[in-house]
Amino acid sequence: MKFIVSRDVLYRNLSAISGVMSANASMAILDNVLMTIAGTQLKLTASDAESTMTAVIELTDVEGEGSVAVPAKILIETLKLIPETPINFFINEEARTVNFKAANGDYDAPCFPGDEYPQINEIANPSSFDIEAPILQRAISKTMFAAGTDELRPNMMGVLCELSSDCITFVATDAHKLVRYRNTKVTSDDFTSLILPKKPIAHLKNILSGVNGDVHVEYSKETNHIRFSFENLVLFSVLKEGKYPNYEAVIPKSNPKSLVVSRDEFLKSIRRVGIYSNQSTFQVRVSLSEEMTSITAEDMDYSNKAVENIAGEYTGEAMEIGFNSKFLREMLENMDSDQIKLEMSQPNHAALIIPTEEFSDTESLLMLIMPVMLNY
């Protein structure tokens, strides 16, 4: 097989798909990228067995057809250091070698039979919907950080995606914090609930940052697979199994106490005061009254203590509530609103963090944080 391809085009597409690969591949062949020539198209495939991503490149100068697996690391690292230029590839399937020439360079590497590479399972009788790339990218980025890491709760190690006649909803929780993102621009007559695995959607989020078109999503509950198609790229993945917790049940409906505060000032204060907290609990105390709001952290073992007062508009009876400053900081960092509203009921009940102004008319964002017991 022979073909000529632009260095920039090849490098950009290899970089896009290689994010699904694993540093500890379950099979040696998965350290390679599959190159398939069919007609005038070059198809690149990368996989970690559970997730697979492909990119299709149109060629103008090509001879022969077939597929081989080429070492991904050596190819990508070489291309990274080569300036834009046409690259001439010659693949000898019998000798199992790949040769490519670029400018003044001549490079040789081994390759392996393409039929040894795992094949993507077809999705039988898929259901589908379309979603704007910026909406999907934003939904993932706003929720994924809250997904669980406990392998004993594998169903919580992903992001829940629910599609209904009213909206599309994305939810992530680790039992300490919860985030719910909704957008009314995407709807479906049939209710659907899917648990998206973290690794592939994290990679999807990064790639979608420069995409403006629609993403076509196909899924099957029978085979437990999902496929995202956009531009010349396709991401195929296994869905998480199991039932997601009833997240609506933990969201408090009555919250008579509220604090409206600058997100930036609140975040900066939590960052500073959190330095003085106990480094195993990260506990901070938020003291609330109509006269003043103060944030306190203390680590008695090291005689560390910090107190800051912040400006805010508090409504309700005076109270004190404790939070994990690490979790609280993380949630504030993932919000856009200039001001946020902290809604509470009791010191031992979950608190809600809501932006006072939404990013758009079609979306809503809600974050929930569980309090910690105050011990000083």
Alpha carbon of residue 204 to chain centroid: 7
- pLDDT at position 71 is 97
**Is residue 141 located within the same domain as residue 179?**
yes
**Is residue 191 located within the same domain as residue 256?**
no
What φ, ψ does residue 217 adopt, rounded to 5°?
-110, 125
Last residue of a domain, one of 116, 148, 170: 116
Q: 6 lies in a domain?
A: yes
Q: 182 lies in a domain?
A: yes
Q: 206 lies in a domain?
A: yes
Dig out the tokens for 250 from the structure: 């933990």
What φ, ψ does residue 224 adopt, rounded to 5°?
65, 45
- pLDDT at position 376 is 64
Q: 121 lies in a domain?
A: no
**Is residue 217 located within the same domain as residue 311?**
no
**Is residue 244 located within the same domain as residue 180?**
yes
What is the extent of the structural domain holding 74? 2-116
**Is residue 44 located within the same domain as residue 134?**
no
CATH of the domain at 312: 3.10.150.10
Q: 162 lies in a domain?
A: yes
**Is residue 235 located within the same domain as residue 300?**
no
How deeply is 43 buried, as exposed, middle or buried, from its count of CB atoms within 10 A (0-12, 13-18, 19+)? middle
Last residue of a domain, one of 116, 136, 157: 116
Contact by Cβ (8 Å): 40, 60: yes
Cβ count within 10 A of residue 366: 16
Q: 142 lies in a domain?
A: yes
Report the number of distinct structural domains present in the chain: 3
| 54: helix, strand or coil | strand
Dig out the tokens for 28 from the structure: 């040696």
Q: Quick one: which of 372, 146, 149, 173 has its CA closest to 274? A: 372
**Is residue 220 located within the same domain as residue 144?**
yes
Last residue of a domain, one of 116, 142, 157: 116
- pLDDT at position 375 is 77
Helices (H), the chain: 7-18, 72-80, 133-143, 198-208, 263-274, 325-333
- pLDDT at position 142 is 97
- pLDDT at position 26 is 85
* pLDDT per 10-residue tile (average), the chain, 376 residues: 97 97 91 97 96 97 96 96 96 94 94 93 90 98 96 94 98 97 96 96 94 96 94 96 94 97 98 96 96 96 96 97 98 96 97 93 97 86
**Is residue 82 located within the same domain as residue 142?**
no
**Is residue 343 located within the same domain as residue 233?**
no
Q: 374 lies in a domain?
A: no
**Is residue 229 located within the same domain as residue 260?**
no
**Is residue 255 located within the same domain as residue 243?**
no
**Is residue 112 located within the same domain as residue 163?**
no
Q: 21 lies in a domain?
A: yes
